Structure 1
């Protein structure tokens, strides 16, 4: 209502809002209707919650049979899924026995083989027993398939013991009491643990709880610290697993020193992942064969990852320098070989760059210089030094 007409407003109208050019009013009937509309939504929520509470109470009365039904359906769902996968992907019925032997022919990783895309999955055989195959040390380049091989053995053993068919041509699985794994690398910021500390905690858990009937999967030990410390820890872990625990173990590593363990322990077998070299390029064959390797092909893998060519070339120079310097040390097992002390080597690679004036001085031949040439050279060097 405009200000000019406010005198015509009925007495039962109630002023609600004053505007610049008008007044707003409301009647008792409108106010009652407003209250009903605004209260309806709140009442709706109240009614919904009341109905929910009633339903919850009714369900609670039958919670035990409902949970039993859900568990049964979950088990049936799991069994049906395993059966469907076994038929579709040609899984085989494993032979589970009470012995120590794990024999897998043409084993496959159940997940990786389905997500490999166009590249065909390469199956591999596995033999773990007490007769020369208790500890298998697997070496090979990054991305070559070491981790996949380790995990597929653990998964096949687990699937066999849970009653599932397994991805292989045949499998004889000796029952294991536990499967221990130390794989991956990450820190734990919440508890203040570094990557290396997490790695050591996981390794300690294995050392303290594994038994001779356990299956142990170790994917790199000691990589979170210096090379010498890492090799020492890895070597000691292998010795302890062989001499004190006796667990069947697969150990993937880049520490090629560990290949020497095969000559020192009858229980150790070296395995390597095959690659094909073509100049500076490599092709991963994904095939596991007996034997050790002395190369990690890290620079070739870095090239595959797309590092700048300048970085690759510089890495080659550094590698050649390190290879020329005899920085390796021999490592022997406790009570089985003489100990060796590492020689401290000052790498020329990391020495300060030579000063150009020093280099020019070295190039001078005083025996074949005239006094005038010597004075000129001295003046030139002095001028450079003052720059």
Structure 2
């Protein structure tokens, strides 16, 4: 839709204005910046054995460690080189750091497909959402090349793939899978609870802890705060309870 081009355009205009060059606009009011930091594309560094994601994180670290409140930061798709939840967490934390750290607090443009980050505009006073306008028509998309305030609630990756010429079977199947995933989408907290439920339901050598008549073990189970346990801690606790049950059976 043009987000990356928009970021590059802003960086170029600020640079051109600051050196006294022509600016491609009817008029412009642009403040001075001490540096322009960009993270708008990365590739792996084969000779150094560095993955694309590692290179991306190194660039992000350089920005966060050197930017000031007079800098301009342009970030494009931070966190996309890892799992979805890891990427969202990193992108959120970086945005929060720039906003909250008074030594940074730089003017920042951050383009992302993580719609969860839209919520930050409701939580932080200086964060604003903007979107690139798109119109859907007859199962196709039309890029309007306009940027307006507001939040984008979904992406158009499948439509773009269709425009690029992917076989119709692939794009149709992708739509089916997307619908299925969206209907079953869980938050990280819900995923954790689901895992713990499965762990709690595992039969340990056909021993049922809840059928065993032992008030101490029942009390211990009742006192467990499931929401505070990691999956590994839950497994360790189940193993501990299993040993206690076996010991009581031998007595």
TM range (shorter): 0.7 to 0.9
Identify the residue that residue 262 of structure 1 maps to in structure 2: 121
Q: Residues 92-111 of structure 1: matches in 2 within 5 Å?
A: none
Identify the residue that residue 163 of structure 1 maps to in structure 2: 20
2:50 paired residue among 193, 205, 222: 193
Alignment length (residue pairs): 192
2:147 paired residue among 285, 288, 300: 288
Cα gap change, 1:263/1:179 in structure 2, threshold over 3 Å: closer, same or farther? Answer: same
Identify the residue that residue 131 of structure 2 maps to in structure 1: 272
2: CA distance, partners of 1:195 / 1:342: 30
1: CA distance, partners of 2:164 / 2:62: 34
1: CA distance, partners of 2:114 / 2:187: 11
Q: Please, what is the CA RMSD of the aligned residues? A: 1.2
1:252 paired residue among 106, 111, 136: 111
Flag the structure with higher strand content.
1
Higher relative contact order (CA 8 A, sep 6+): 1
Identify the residue that residue 205 of structure 1 maps to in structure 2: 62
TM-score normalised per structure 2: 0.74
Deviations 1:194-219 (A, max 9, x none): 01000000000000000000000001
Aligned to 1:306, what secondary structure does the other structure show? coil
Extract unaligned runs of 5+ from structure 1. 1-143, 330-340, 347-387
Q: Residues 46-85 of structure 1: matches in 2 within 5 Å?
A: none
Report whether the alignment pairs 1:229 with 2:86: yes
1: CA distance, partners of 2:6 / 2:187: 29
How far the C-alpha of 1:165 sits from its partner, in A, is 1.5
How far the C-alpha of 1:328 sits from its partner, in A, is 3.7
Q: Which protein shows a greater Rg?
A: 1
Q: Residues 1-387 of structure 1: matches in 2 within 5 Å?
A: 144-244=1-101, 245-329=104-188, 341-344=189-192
How far the C-alpha of 1:342 sits from its partner, in A, is 4.3
Deviations 1:47-77 (A, max 9, x none): xxxxxxxxxxxxxxxxxxxxxxxxxxxxxxx
How far the C-alpha of 1:280 sits from its partner, in A, is 1.5
Aligned to 1:251, what secondary structure does the other structure show? strand
